[in-house]
Structure 1
Amino acid sequence: MLKRLETHHMIAVKWLALPKRGGKTMDEIAEECGVSRRAVYDWIKDPLFDRELKKEIIRQTTARLPEVMDSLTDAVIKEHNAAAAKLLLQVNGMLTDKVEVENKGTSEPDLDALAARLRALKESKREVDG
């Protein structure tokens, strides 16, 4: 397990974070780092390296978010894409999965009615189970 990331690790992170690894093979990335291909694969499994790789991917993709949002908007408008519309509204805080329930009845539940309903459900289950 890595204790800290060295220069050769960061070189690998930069290449691995690029789309399609910047056109490089794993062998070429390993060569740039001065290590074996196996070493790069081992680094990818390391939690410290993995965290840094994910951070770099986020740094690189954040700059393209305006393009993504523009494409998403186009999909909603041009393709009448409901899933894209939902995502666009959620991203902009205009749609949530939050459900609010308002109790308009009495503050105390009717325990006798609940108990009767529970008995009826148990009885119908027994009949179904045979």
Structure 2
Amino acid sequence: MSTLRVAASAAFISLAALSAAGAQEIAGRYQVQGENANGSGYSGTAEISGTAGGRCAIRWALVNTPPSQGFCMRQGDVLAVAYQLGNSAGLVVYRLGDNGVLDGTWTITGTEGVGKERLTPIR
């Protein structure tokens, strides 16, 4: 097989994978597992709703944390979320995986560093 044909096949497979991730519906309930910037962990649930036109809303119910909510926007396999927790504003950027899992990195005003968060669909 020629090098050009191999490259074209690889490009097609990559585009197909991106299209599949982009076509996944993200509305629904998720199990949350996260890590704060200081290394401590947290857990709970989240619900994403209203995903028409790439826009959505998200609500978190985390153990030992006041409820929080935010608004989001999806572009392809990236979901950006602006949220409020108490008097602080935050930002999360998630990447959508093939299995519907959202892996994110977040920050919030008044803290140093970034945290990590994984949203796993509850089916």
Q: TM-score, normalised by structure 1?
A: 0.23
Q: Which structure has the higher relative contact order (CA within 8 Å, separation 6+)?
A: 2
Larger Rg: 1
Q: Which has the higher strand share?
A: 2
Q: Which has the higher helix share?
A: 1
Q: TM-score, normalised by structure 2?
A: 0.24
